[in-house]
Structure 1
Amino acid sequence: MAQTPAVPAALLFFLISLVEGHAYNVVSVETGQEAVLRCPYASKISLLMVTWKMKCSTCCLFAYRSDLNETSRLNCSERTTWKYSPDTDPALRIHPVNLGDEGNYTCEVTSSEGNFLFSSSLTVIVPPTVTLTSDKSRVAVCQAAAGKPAAAISWIPASNHSTEEEVHHPSGTVTRVSYIGWVNSTLRSVTCLVTHPAANQTLSLDLPCPSSRLPYFLIGGCASVVAVSGVTLCLIFKCRGKSFDEPEMYCNSFSDYVQTKDFRSMPSLERTDVVEPPVLSESIYQNYNRRMTYI
């Protein structure tokens, strides 16, 4: 009779657990961290056996028998252990957790008072890999790769011209990419804000400014053209002006070049103001005889 009050106390404990929501736990853990799944248990009840099951045909089964004081596992990795002593607190520990551990788990407690079930849902969170780049057309690209759940991307300063796309991977992760253009803007930098349950990240990027550099390129190009044209015209007029006064000093090279070429369609560039008679060779008079003129 001394143990009779223990039975209503145990039943009351489990009823309170159901009302408070402890019969169904939702656990969210970041990948690589420790996941602990609770199993409410009244220490005043004599525990015979506790079994953890993952809801699938070939998934993990982790059990403890108090009479043998031993733990058995089936299809469970070494990452699955007890958080504490199973006869006092049969909480399940998974460390480090990965995406393959995600799912629904059931804790079944067998005691002298009966069997009791408790369920837990484990969600694994994967932080995305965030990058921010730009191309030559001044389009900024913010990418949150392989995140779970999908990350939210926003821009600072805000713009209504951004576009997004998503890629869903077989592992359950999602890659989200956001594009924003600043072609007609004078802003020198943009900031990408990535919001995710694992962590929020902010990246800033300096954008190239072709609009501010273009006038300098144009001015430099025009100055070069003007300089080259001016030097060319100067040399041409200088050569022509000096050709009448000092041809040998300034324009001999040009005249020699013209004389070496057979420009039949061009007039001769040599001076023709003085024409000297041809010099006859003395060979013409070698056979001349004055007597022959009277014959």
Structure 2
Amino acid sequence: MAHTWAVLIALLFLLINQTEGPAYNTLSVEAGQEAVLSCPYTSEASLLLATWKMKCSTCCLFAYRSDHKETKKLNCSERVMWKYSPEGDPALRIYPVNLGDEGNYICEIVSSAGNFLFFSSLTVIVPPTVTLTRDKSRVAVCQASAGKPAAEISWIPASNHSTQEEVHHSNGTVTRRSYIGWVNSSHATVTCLVTHPATNQTLSLDLSHTSLRLPYLLIGGSASVAAVSGVTLFLIFRYRAFRLREVAHGSAVPFATRNFRSTPSHENTEAVKPPVLSESIYQNYDPRMIRMNY
């Protein structure tokens, strides 16, 4: 079985020179979306072999043999599949597409009508994350992060004093920053325009509002700190006064106890003494003992 596949693929390469001429297609898809690479094919002709591959030795090879009704995958992700039935339309579907799918693809068809190639170029675009901030010196910073391709940044009102910088990341995305100063400008609001194939965004910043907000924040923060400090000192002094009263009260209690013990009341003394009964006086009386002593 494997030998048969190898023979068919080798035959396909030998017939490349006899193709009617390659066709080309370019496709741009946003990351996370569906990419469909078409391969024009006349369904009236009998399909023998349809193969998709990228232009590299270790890339995905996706093939279909009509005589066995069998699809083979080599180095292909599960995201790669047929869009429709390959015998009717051998279009390739990649979903969701990511940056690693970008590149050139070749569709090779062997049919009863002839042999031909179809080339597709897939470009994956990534929308940037856009922010607009300012610093203490009234310099506005518009940033478009991790976009592919790099976003275009412009300002309203337009100025010739803006500067830009770029950071290229290893995955092919680009972060672009644009700086513009408004120290001596009479405009209170600055607007940043970001243009990208995947998105267009407009952000505005009120410089006069943000400049006045900082003193209020500082005043509010100082008042809050003062209030917390005052409450803390009040609780400390109150606790110390409570401790002083407790110590004073504790030292007076022993003196009162000693005075109470040294001068017991008459009621307590009578409660402790046992009662004297008249019968107990004559209980051990003996007249003989009186005479003997006498």
Q: TM-score, normalised by structure 2?
A: 0.63
Separation in 2, partners of 1:109, 1:54: 15
Give, in angstroms, the shift of residue 80 of structure 1: 0.5
CA contact (8 A) 1:168 1:174 kept: yes
Structure 1 63/211 Cα, relative in aligned 2: closer, same or farther at 3 Å? Answer: closer
**Post-superposition shift, 1:72?**
1.1
Q: Structure 1 or 2: larger helix share?
A: 2
Cα offset, 1:189, TM superposition: 1.4
Distance change in 2, residues 1:125/1:211 (3 Å): closer
In structure 1, C-alpha distance between the alignment counterparts of 2:177 and 2:113, rounded to whole Å: 56
- 1:26-65 aligned at under 5 Å gives the runs 26-65=26-65
CA-to-aligned-CA distance 1:157-195 (integer Å, 9 cap, x gap): 111110001111111111110000100123221110000
Which residue identity lines up with residue 130 of structure 1 in the other structure? V
Q: Which residue number corresponds to residue 267 of structure 2?
A: none
The answer for the alignment partner of 1:25 in structure 2 is: 25
Q: Which runs of 4+ in 1 moved over 2 A?
A: 112-115, 208-213
Between the aligned residues of both structures, percent identity stands at 78
2: CA distance between counterparts of 1:198 and 1:205?
23
Task: Answer whether contact 1:127 1:148 (CA < 8 A) is retained.
Answer: yes
| Partner amino acid, structure 2, of 1:26 | T
Q: Tell me the amino acid that sits aligned with residue 144 of structure 1.
A: A
Match of 2:98 in 1: 98
1:181 correspondence with 2:181: yes
Structure 1: gaps (5+ residues): 1-13, 214-295
SS at match of 2:84: coil
Residue 202 (structure 1) aligns with:
202
Verify the 8 A CA contact 1:125 1:198 in the aligned structure 2: yes
Cα distance in 2 for residues equivalent to 1:210 and 1:123: 41
Aligned residues: 195
- Aligned counterparts, 1:123-272, within 5 A: 123-208=123-208
Q: Which residue identity does 1:44 align to in structure 2? A: E
What's the RMSD between the two structures over aligned residues?
1.9
Hey, what's the Cα distance between the residues in 2 that align with 1:186 and 1:211? 14
CA distance in 1, matches of 2:64, 2:210: 70
* Structure 1 residues 45 and 185, CA gap change in structure 2 (3 angstroms): same
Per-residue displacement from partner, 1:61-101 (whole Å, max 9, x unpaired)?
Answer: 11111111111111111110111110000000001100000
Measured in 1, the distance between the counterparts of 2:159 and 2:143 equals 17
- Please tell me whether the aligned partners of residues 133 and 142 of structure 1 are also in contact (alpha carbons under 8 angstroms): yes
Q: Check the 8 A contact 1:138/1:208 in 2, yes or no.
A: no
SS in structure 1 at match of 2:137: coil
Code of the aligned partner of 1:180: I
Q: Provide, for residues 184-212 of structure 1, a one-character-per-residue CA deviation record: whole Å limited to 9, x for no partner.
A: 12322111000001111111111146999
Which AA in structure 2 matches 1:132? L
Asked if 1:80 is matched to 2:80, the reply is yes
Matched-pair contact (CA < 8 Å) for 1:186–1:209: no
Letter in 2 for 1:96: P
Query: Is the contact made by 1:166 and 1:176 (CA closer than 8 Å) also made in structure 2?
Result: yes
Secondary structure in 1 matching 2:100: helix
Aligned counterparts of 1:74 and 1:115: Cα–Cα separation in 2: 22
Contact 1:50–1:109 (CA under 8 A) maintained in structure 2: yes
Change (3 A) 1:183 1:31: same
Counterpart of 2:74, as a letter, is L
Rounded to whole Å, the distance in 2 between the matches of 1:145 and 1:212 is 29
Could you tell me how far 1:114 is from its partner in structure 2? 3.7
Query: SS state of the match for residue 100, structure 1?
Result: helix
Matched residues in 2 for 1:69 and 1:212: separation?
Answer: 73
Consecutive unaligned residues in structure 2, runs of 5 or more: 1-18, 214-294
Q: Distance in 2 between matches of 1:113 and 1:212?
A: 76
SS at 1:198 equivalent: coil
